[in-house]
Amino acid sequence: MADAPVISCRNVWKLFGTDPEGYLPAAKAAQSFEEIRQAGYIAAVRDVSIDVGRGEMLVIMGLSGSGKSTLVRCMSRLIDITGGEVIVDGQKIMKLDERELIELRRRKMGMVFQSFGLLPHRTVLDNVAFPLEMRGQDRHERRERALEVIKLVGLEGREEYFPRELSGGQQQRVGIARSLAIEPDIWFLDEPFSALDPLIRREMQDEFLRLRGMLGKTIVFITHDFDEALRLADRIAIMKDGAVEQCDTPDKIVLSPATDYVAKFTEDVEKSRVVHAKVLAQPLNGHTPDGPAVAADATVLQLARQLVNDDRELLPVADNAGKIVGAMKRQDALDILLGPA
Amino acid sequence: MAILDSTSESDARRIARPSGVILLLCLALAAALLKPVLPAFLIRVPEWAVLPYDQWMQWLFDFIKDDLGLIHVTRTISAGLEWLLDITANLLYGKNRWPHIGPLPWSAVAAVAAVTGYALGGTRMALLAGGTFVWVALIGQWDLAMQTMSVITVAAPVAVLVGLILGLAAWKFPRFERALMPILAIFQTLPFFTYLLPAVIFFKVGPTAGCVATIVYAIPPMVLMTALGLKQVSDEVVEAGQMSGSTRWQMLRHVYLPSARTELLIGVNQVIMLSLAMVVLTAFIGMPGLGAKLLSLMNSLKLGRSFEIGVTIVLVAVTLDRCSKAWVVKQPQHFERGTPWWQRHRLLLIGIGAFVACLIAAQFIQLADHIKRGQDLSMGSEIDDVIRAILSNGVITSTTEWLRWFLITWVLIPFRNALLWLPSTSVILTVAAAGCFVGGWRSGMIAGAFFGIVALTGWWDRSIITVYAVISAVVLAALIGLPLGILAARRKRWADPILLACDTAQTFPSFIYLIPAIMLFGVNDVSVVFAIFIFATVPLMRYTIEGIRSVPDELLEAADMSGATRHQKLLAVQLPLALPTMAVGFNQAIMFAFFMVIIAAFIGTQDLGQELQKTLAGNQLGKNFVLGMCVALMALAFDHVIMRWSANRRKALGV
C-alpha cells in the first residue's frame, strides 16, 4: 500500500437545505448534527476524511440516515459535495466537467445498488451490456464481454430473461455483472444484499468473496449490517449523523471501540470470531517461543481447542509463508474466547 | 419545542376557520333574506359595470391573429395537417387525394385490427378488435366510421408527440411546469365549444379544424402523465444509468423514457380516448363522420339508426380503450437463444400475410372489398319500430310522463327559480364559505373570486342555469350512485362486474348518453338532467367502490375483532376511510356534468351552452372565450374546493 490512495476524501461536507454553500462556514463551526438541523439544514456528510488504498476493501457501516449512502455518492459524484475535496486516482472529481466525469465512469467505476437498479425493458444480456453500449462498443464485442461476465456471476442460460422473471438474488447477480462489465478499477456496492432474504444474502456474500478474491479491485462497500461488515471488510468506517466515528480494521474496532456508539455495536459481537492471531501477536524481542506456530490469519475461535489444550504461555504466530512474525500471549486469546476472568 | 409550536398554530387555525366560515355564511344568508332592501348592485352586477370583455378579447384575438401574423403560422400548420389527413382519408375511405391508393378493403383493415388485438391481448382482444370492424362494415357504416378514424389516426399521434415534448419540458424546467399546470387545468375544464371555434377560425373549416380541436383537447393528460412518469423513475435506475457513463441524451433515450413506459402508455390511452370523445363532438362544426351522422339522426328523432350508430361508437371506444390498456400491461416476452427471426416476428408476419391475402381477395370478391348499400344488415327502421312500440307502452309512457311532470314541476323549476332569485353576492359568499371551510381564507378567496368574475362578465343568469342543471343532476346521481356503489362494494361478486361496467361506460364518448335520455324523455330539461345524471353516476359509483375496497384488510380485521357488525364496520371504518376517494369521484362527476350540460345545448337549453353554440355561427371568438371561461371558472371553483377537501382528509388520515 505504498501507492497513493485510489480514493481520498478530505474534509468532505454535504449539506442539504436552501443555501448549503452559504451555510457551510456556520456548519463547520457548529458543535453537533442537531445544531445544524435546528438551522434548517441536514448534514448528510460531516467533515469526513477517508483514504481507500489500491486493492483495499473499505466497508462503510451505519444505520439508516447516517449518511453512508450519501458519502459513497459523493465519491462517485452522483451527488456534488458542498465542501472539502474528493480525489479519485489523482483527479479532483469536483473539477471534472461533464464529459470527463462520464469518461471516468465509463473507464474506472462500477456500482451495485440496493434495489438492483435494473432497466426493466432490457434483457439480462442487454442490461449487462448497457455500460458497454453507452461507451459505444460495437454490438459483437459487447455481447462477448457481457456473456463472459454473466458466466462469471453464474447466470448462464438466463441471458434472454427480463429482470422481472428473475428472483431477487438473480437480479442482484445481474446488477453485479453489469457493474463489472467495463472491468472497473473501483467498485462501489451500496447495500447490495440488504434487499435479499437471509439465506440468499449469505450465499451472495460467499459469492462476493469469491469474486473479490479473483478480481482484486478497490472496493467501497456499504452496509447497515455490522456482522456483514465484520465478515467482509479490510477496514470498517462506522458512521453516525454524517460523521465517521471510527475507521479501522474489524479486529481493532472489536477490541478497542473508539466511542460509546461503536461500543454498542461491538457489545454483542462474538469477538473470537473476528479477532485474528496476528493482531494479538507482540514483537518477538529476539526470543522465539518453542513449539508449533499458529497461523496469523486464524481467528481466536478457530484456535480455541489449541488454546485450551496448549500449556505454553506464549504461542509463536506465523504468516502464510511460515515466517514467525510474533508471539501471542495465550491468556490474551483465552480472555477473548471466554471473556475476561 | 418545534412540535408544540406547530400544534398550537394548527389549533389557532382550527378556531379561526369555523368563525370565518360562519361569518361568510351569515353574510350570505343576510344577503338572501334582505334581498328586497338590498341595493341593486349587490343583487346583480349592474349593466354599466359589465365591461365589454368580449370585445376586448375579440380585439386581442384579432390582434394576435392578423397583426402578429399568427394566422400565417396556423395556416402553415393546417397545410401540414391537411396533408396527413388527406393520406389517412385516402387510405381509409378513398378520398380523392394523394397517394390515390385507397380505399383499403374493409376485410384487410379488420384483419390487421384482429392481429393487432391478438398481439396486444390474446384471443379475446382479437375478437373484440376484429369483431368491431366486421360489425362496422356489415352494419353499413364503414365510410362514416373511417371518416372518424382517419382524424383520430392523425390527431392521436400528434397529440402524443406534442404532449411528450411539453411533458419533457415540464419535467426538465420546474418553472415552465409551474406556468403550464394552471393553463392545463383551465384547458381541462373549458367547454368543448371553446376548442371548436378558435380551431375553425385559425385552421380552416372541415377536418383540419376538427383535427386541431381534437389534438388540443387530448394533449393535457399526455403532458401530465409524461411529467409524472419521468419524475418517478427510481433514483437507483437513474444512478445506474449515470454510473454506466450515459450522456444526457443516452439517459433520456435509454433510461428515462423506457422506465416511464407505463405512465407514458397510460397517457397514450387517455389521448386516444379523449380524441375519440372530441372527434365525435366536432360534428358541431360540420365534421363528417359518426358524430355528424348521430347528431343529424337525433335531431330528426330517428332513434333506431341513432341506436346503431351509438353501438358502433361504443364498440370503437371499447376496442380502442381495451387495446391501448392491454398495451400498457403487456410485458416483453423473451425468446430462448437461437430462436429464428421468423419465429420472433411471427405475429408481424401473420399480420402482413392476412393483410395481403385480404387485398388479393378483395380484387375478386366484391363483398370483401366493400359492402354496398342494400347488402348491409342495418335494421335501423325495424329497431325504430321496436323502440317506438316499447316507448308507446302505457306503463312506460305513464311512468316517464309522471316522472317528467314531477321533476319539472316540483324539483327542477323551483330549484332553478330559487337559484335565479338569489342575489349574486349571496351565492358568491356561500361558495367562498365552502372554500374557506376546506382550505382557509386563501381557498375561500379563490373560490369566491372565480364566481365573482363570472358575475362581472354579466352572464350570471345563464351561468346559474348551467350550475342548476349540474347540481340537480349530480345530486340525483349521488342519491342513486352512492348507495348502489356501497352495496356493490360489500359483495365481491358484484363489485368486479360493476367496476368493469363503470370502466367501460366511462370510455363512451359523452354524446352517447344523450340517446337514452332523448328516447325516454323527449327534448326538454328532464332529458338534459337525465343524460348528465347517467354520465355522472358512473364515476360516483366507480370511486365509491374503489374507495371502500381499498380500505386495508387489517383495519377490517381489527374492526371484526372489536366485534363490529357489518353496519358498524361500514359507518365507522369503511366510509370514513373511503371518503377522500369518493370525493374524487364526486369531483369527476361534477366535471363530467359541466362537460355534458354544454353538449346538451343542441336539445335547446337556456344556459351558457346555448350561447356558446350561437357563437359558432357568428364567429364571435371574444364572446365564445368569455363564455368558455365562465364555465371553466365555475368548474375550477368546485374542483378546487372538493380536491382540497379530499387532500386534507387524506393527510389527516395519513394515507
Strand runs labelled E in chain A: 7-16, 42-52, 57-61, 83-88, 91-92, 109-112, 186-190, 218-223, 235-240, 243-248, 294-295, 314-318, 324-329
Q: Is the minimum CB–CB distance between B5 and chain A shorter than 8 Å?
A: no
What mean pLDDT is reported for chain A?
90
Q: How confident is the model at residue B12 (pLDDT cuts 50, 70, 90)?
A: very low
* pLDDT of res. A3: 67
Residue of chain B minimizing CA distance to A191: B236
Residue of chain B minimizing CA distance to A180: B244
CB contact at 8 A, A306 and A300: no
CB contact at 8 A, B88 and B79: no
Residue of chain A minimizing CA distance to B240: A117
- B71-103+148-322 topology per CATH: MetI-like fold (1.10.3720)
Give me the residues of A, 144-163, that contact B with CB < 8 A.
159-162
pLDDT over threshold 50, residue B226: yes
Interface touch B240/A110, C-beta < 8 Å:
no
Do the domains at B71-103+148-322 and B394-423+459-653 have one common CATH topology?
yes
Q: How confident is the model at residue B221 (pLDDT cuts 50, 70, 90)?
A: very high
Alpha carbon distance B561, B557 (integer Å): 6
Q: Is the minimum CB–CB distance between A114 and chain B shorter than 8 Å?
A: yes
Residue of chain A minimizing CA distance to B330: A121
pLDDT over threshold 50, residue B575: yes
Q: Is the minimum CB–CB distance between A117 and chain B shorter than 8 Å?
A: yes
* pLDDT of res. B305: 85
Q: Is B504 exposed, middle or buried (0-12, 13-18, 19+ CB in 10 A)?
A: middle
Backbone Cα Rg of chain A: 23
B334 interaction partners in chain A (CB closer than 8 Å): 123, 160-162, 165
Interface touch A119/B236, C-beta < 8 Å:
no
What mean pLDDT is reported for chain B?
88
Residue pairs spanning A and B at CB distance below 8 A: 81
CB contact at 8 A, B210 and B216: no
- Residue among A113, A130, A134 whose CB faces B239 most closely: A113
- Residue among A106, A160, A188 whose CB faces B245 most closely: A106
* pLDDT of res. B3: 37
Residues B559-575, mean pLDDT to the nearest whole number: 89
B337 interaction partners in chain A (CB closer than 8 Å): 159-160
Going by C-beta distance under 8 Å and a sequence separation of 6 or more, which residues neighbour residue A12? A45, A47, A48, A49, A71, A74, A81, A83, A84, A85, A86
Q: In terms of Cα–Cα distance, which of B509, B530, B602, B514 is closest to B312?
A: B509
- Residue among B237, B331, B336 whose CB faces A160 most closely: B336
Identify the residue among A75, A134, A155 best suited for mutation to test binding to B, counting B beta carbons within 10 A and taking the highest. Answer: A134
Q: Is A188 helix (H, G, I), strand (E, B) or coil?
A: strand
pLDDT over threshold 90, residue B315: yes
The whole-angstrom distance between B327's CA and the closest CA on chain A is 14
Alpha carbon distance B289, B199 (integer Å): 18
Interface touch B246/A78, C-beta < 8 Å:
no
pLDDT cut 90: percent of chain B above it? 43
pLDDT over threshold 60, residue B341: yes
Residues A137-182 have pLDDT tens digits of 999 999 999 999 999 888 998 999 999 999 999 999 999 999 999 9
A174 interaction partners in chain B (CB closer than 8 Å): none
* pLDDT of res. B6: 41
Interface touch A113/B236, C-beta < 8 Å:
yes
Alpha carbon distance B189, B444 (integer Å): 20
DSSP B285-346: GT--SHHHHHHHHHHTT-HHHHHHHHHHHHHHHHHHHHHHHHHHH--PPP--TT--HHHHTH
A40 interaction partners in chain B (CB closer than 8 Å): none
Q: Is the minimum CB–CB distance between A131 and chain B shorter than 8 Å?
A: yes
Alpha carbon distance B465, A321 (integer Å): 98
- A273-338 topology per CATH: CBS-domain (3.10.580)
A119 interaction partners in chain B (CB closer than 8 Å): 237, 240-241, 254-255, 258-259
Alpha carbon distance B548, B596 (integer Å): 27
CB contact at 8 A, A284 and A324: yes
Q: In terms of Cα–Cα distance, which of B547, B534, B613 is closest to B576?
A: B547
pLDDT over threshold 50, residue B10: no
Q: How confident is the model at residue B398 (pLDDT cuts 50, 70, 90)?
A: confident
Which value does ipTM take for this structure? 0.87
pLDDT over threshold 90, residue B380: no
Residues B441-461 have pLDDT tens digits of 888 899 999 999 999 988 999
* pLDDT of res. B339: 81
CB contact at 8 A, A230 and A209: no
Q: Is the minimum CB–CB distance between A111 and chain B shorter than 8 Å?
A: yes
Assigned architecture for domain B394-423+459-653: Orthogonal Bundle (1.10)
CB contact at 8 A, B580 and B653: yes
Q: Is the minimum CB–CB distance between A169 and chain B shorter than 8 Å?
A: no
Q: What is the DSSP letter of B442?
A: H
Residues B91-115, mean pLDDT to the nearest whole number: 89
* pLDDT of res. B145: 93
Alpha carbon distance B512, B505 (integer Å): 10
CATH number of A54-81+96-269, picked from 3.40.50.300, 3.10.150.10, 3.20.20.150, 3.30.70.2860: 3.40.50.300
Work out the widest C-alpha separation in chain A, in whole angstroms.
67
Give me the residues of A, 242-281, that contact B with CB < 8 A.
none
Using alpha carbons only, give the angle B565, B571, B574 rounded to the nearest 5 degrees: 95
The whole-angstrom distance between A102's CA and the closest CA on chain B is 5
The whole-angstrom distance between B650's CA and the closest CA on chain A is 27
Residues B461-494 have pLDDT tens digits of 999 999 999 999 999 999 999 999 998 888 888 8
First to last CA, chain A: 39
pLDDT over threshold 80, residue B142: yes
Residues B105-135 have pLDDT tens digits of 999 999 999 999 999 999 999 999 999 999 9
* pLDDT of res. A190: 93
Interface touch A131/B245, C-beta < 8 Å:
yes
Q: Is the minimum CB–CB distance between B244 and chain A shorter than 8 Å?
A: yes
Q: Is the minimum CB–CB distance between B234 and chain A shorter than 8 Å?
A: yes
Where are the domains positioned within chain B?
Answer: 71-103+148-322, 105-138+342-377, 394-423+459-653
SS (H, E, C) B79-123: HHHHHHHHHHHHHHHCCCCCCCCCCCCHHHHHHHHHHHHHHHHHH
Residues B86-104, mean pLDDT to the nearest whole number: 87
CB contact at 8 A, A56 and A1: yes
The structure's pTM equals 0.87
Identify the residue among B1, B244, B251 best suited for mutation to test binding to A, counting A beta carbons within 10 A and taking the highest. Answer: B244
Local confidence pLDDT in tens for the 341 residues of chain A: 446 899 999 999 999 999 999 999 998 888 888 999 998 999 999 999 999 999 999 999 999 889 999 999 999 999 999 999 999 999 999 999 999 999 999 999 999 999 999 999 999 999 999 999 998 999 999 999 999 999 988 899 899 999 999 999 999 999 999 999 999 999 999 999 988 888 888 988 998 998 888 888 999 999 999 999 998 999 999 999 999 999 999 999 998 999 999 999 888 888 888 888 888 888 887 777 888 888 888 888 888 888 888 888 888 888 888 888 888 888 888 888 887 76
Residue of chain A minimizing CA distance to B337: A160
Sign for the CA dihedral angle at B549, B554, B559, B561 comes to positive
Alpha carbon distance B563, B586 (integer Å): 32
* pLDDT of res. B197: 87
Where are the domains positioned within chain A?
Answer: 54-81+96-269, 273-338
Prior bond of B221 cis (ω within 30°): no
Interface touch A117/B247, C-beta < 8 Å:
no
* pLDDT of res. B322: 93
Interface touch B244/A134, C-beta < 8 Å:
yes
Q: How confident is the model at residue B273 (pLDDT cuts 50, 70, 90)?
A: very high
Q: CB count, 10 Å around CB of B61?
A: 18
Q: How confident is the model at residue B161 (pLDDT cuts 50, 70, 90)?
A: very high
Q: What does the block give as the cell for A7?
A: 480514493
Backbone Cα Rg of chain B: 27
Residue of chain A minimizing CA distance to B338: A160
Q: Is the minimum CB–CB distance between A123 and chain B shorter than 8 Å?
A: yes
* pLDDT of res. B17: 62
* pLDDT of res. B63: 87
Q: Is the minimum CB–CB distance between A178 and chain B shorter than 8 Å?
A: yes
Q: Is the minimum CB–CB distance between A14 and chain B shorter than 8 Å?
A: no
Identify the residue among A102, A116, A142 best suited for mutation to test binding to B, counting B beta carbons within 10 A and taking the highest. Answer: A102
Interface touch A121/B334, C-beta < 8 Å:
no
- Residue among A78, A160, A164 whose CB faces B335 most closely: A160
- Residue among A106, A116, A121 whose CB faces B261 most closely: A121
Q: What does the block give as the cell for B502?
A: 363503470
Residues A177-224 have pLDDT tens digits of 999 999 999 999 999 998 888 888 898 899 899 888 888 899 999 999
Alpha carbon distance B146, A291 (integer Å): 98
Alpha carbon distance B19, B325 (integer Å): 49
Q: In terms of Cα–Cα distance, which of B346, B359, B551, B590 is closest to B472?
A: B590
B5 interaction partners in chain A (CB closer than 8 Å): none
